[in-house]
């Protein structure tokens, strides 16, 4: 069909993700210095106008195709999904577990970068969970068909339609990458997702190393140390690595943990929310 004969109602085709990443014009503001991770922002040109967006305003980031990938993965060199893929792949192999048999609950799934990475080691079934509809829409736009299901909302307070998507499902693995703390996922939500995994299943997650420090007051340190001490999880692999760089080039250190789930996290180990 020639361009002139196209019906006027036909939508402009969505560019491929790679094209979008290449074409996007971005600039990091100089004020990157000394900002907390959740305060970082960027300016991006959208339809000819420059706009400033905060990294943690994910509902504004994901609708701009390619922005998250260009900013977090290209400029800030985030290596977390690849680290989890590498470590989980190794542990599954060592334990003779076929990745093709796993259903993964991807908590804080965003636009699907982690599931895409885990698909490279042969995992086929993913259920995403994210607070924002924009994440679900972006995942389907950029990685169509990757998620068998995508649940939008707070796991502790899901609308009936979203809760229904989880009914009757069992999970073999929880993945949670770059999404714990900093106003994102609190310990109680992590625990709720963990407890949906069957005993004997897997947990693969990354967390800022400081949150595991005994003096940390985010609640994660006490809960995760308790999980290990009370054999709620068998931590098979634990590695400190560079999650990404900050806008000024300093390294942000995270810890990746791959564990076997032994039992549910009891209420006594879950810090109260707030
Ligand atoms: C830094 S992004 C990480 C996305 C993806 N895991 C990755 O590594 O590319 C954090 C994600 O967690 C989501 N998130 C924050 N709080 C959440 C919550 N309470 N429940 C589910 N998702 C949440 C955000 O919407 C965002 O998509």
Does 202 contact ligand 1 (Cβ within 6 A)?
no
Is 102 in the same domain as 229?
A: yes
Q: How far is the CA of 11 from the centre of ligand 1 (A)?
A: 30
Q: How many CA atoms lie within 13 A of 227 on its CB side?
A: 26
Provide the sign of the torsion angle of the four alpha carbons 187, 38, 54, 249, taken in this order.
negative
Give CA torsion, residues 209, 203, 76, 111, to 10 deg.
-140
Q: Do 109 and 195 reside in the same domain of the chain? A: yes
Instruction: Give the whole-angstrom CA distance, residue 156 versus residue 167.
Output: 14
Please check whether residues 89 and 64 belong to one and the same domain.
no
**The pLDDT of residue 175:** 98
Query: Which residue carries 């990091």 as its tokens?
Result: 28
- The number of distinct structural domains making up the chain is 2
CB distance 132 to ligand 1 below 6 Å:
yes
Q: How many angstroms separate the CA atoms of 205 and 258, rounded?
A: 7
Q: Same structural domain for residues 191 and 119? A: yes
Q: Cα(260)–Cα(234) distance, rounded to whole angstroms?
A: 5
Do residues 191 and 224 touch, judged by C-beta distance below 8 A? no
Ligand 1 centroid – CA 197 distance (Å): 19
- Give the residue from 36, 53, 75 where a domain finishes: 75
Is the CB of 80 within 6 Å of ligand 1?
yes
- Span from the CA of 179 to the centroid of ligand 1 (angstroms): 5
Distance 60 CA to ligand 1 centre (A): 13
Q: What is the pTM for the complete model shown?
A: 0.93
Token digits of residue 24: 């996007």
Q: What is the pLDDT along the chain (274 residues), one digit of tens a residue?
A: 444 444 545 555 667 999 999 999 999 877 655 677 778 899 999 999 999 999 999 999 999 999 999 999 999 999 999 999 999 999 999 999 999 999 999 999 999 999 999 999 999 999 999 999 999 999 999 999 999 999 999 999 999 999 999 999 999 999 999 999 888 999 999 999 999 999 999 999 999 999 999 999 999 999 999 999 999 999 999 999 999 998 888 999 999 999 999 999 999 999 985 4
> Domain limits at 226?
80-269
Backbone angles phi, psi at 246, to 5 degrees: -85, 170
């Amino acid at each position: 069909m020639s361009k002139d004969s196209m019906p006027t109602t036909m939508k402009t085709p969505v560019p491929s993700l790679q094209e979008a990443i290449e074409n996007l014009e971005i600039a990091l503001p100089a004020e990157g210095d000394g900002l907390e991770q959740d305060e970082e922002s960027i300016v991006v040109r959208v339809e000819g106008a420059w706009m400033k967006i905060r990294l943690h305003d994910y509902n504004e980031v994901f609708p701009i195709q390619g922005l998250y990938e260009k900013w977090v993965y290209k400029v800030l060199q985030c290596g977390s999904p690849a680290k989890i893929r590498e470590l989980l792949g190794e542990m599954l192999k060592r334990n003779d577990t076929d990745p093709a048999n796993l259903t993964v609950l991807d908590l804080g799934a965003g636009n699907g970068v982690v599931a895409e990475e885990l698909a490279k080691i042969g995992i086929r079934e993913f259920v995403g969970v994210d607070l924002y509809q924009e994440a679900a829409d972006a995942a389907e736009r950029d990685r169509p068909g990757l998620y068998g299901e995508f649940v939008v909302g707070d796991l502790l307070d899901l609308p009936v339609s979203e809760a229904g998507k989880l009914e009757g499902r069992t999970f073999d693995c929880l993945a949670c990458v770059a999404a714990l703390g900093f106003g994102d996922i609190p310990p109680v939500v992590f625990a709720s997702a963990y407890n949906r995994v069957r005993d004997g299943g897997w947990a693969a997650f990354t967390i800022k190393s400081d949150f595991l420090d005994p003096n940390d007051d985010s609640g994660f340190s006490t809960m995760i140390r308790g999980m290990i001490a009370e054999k709620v999880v068998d931590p098979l692999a634990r590695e400190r690595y560079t999650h990404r760089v900050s806008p000024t080039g300093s390294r942000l250190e995270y810890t990746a943990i791959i564990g076997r789930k032994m039992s549910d996290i009891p209420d006594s180990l879950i810090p109260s929310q707030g």
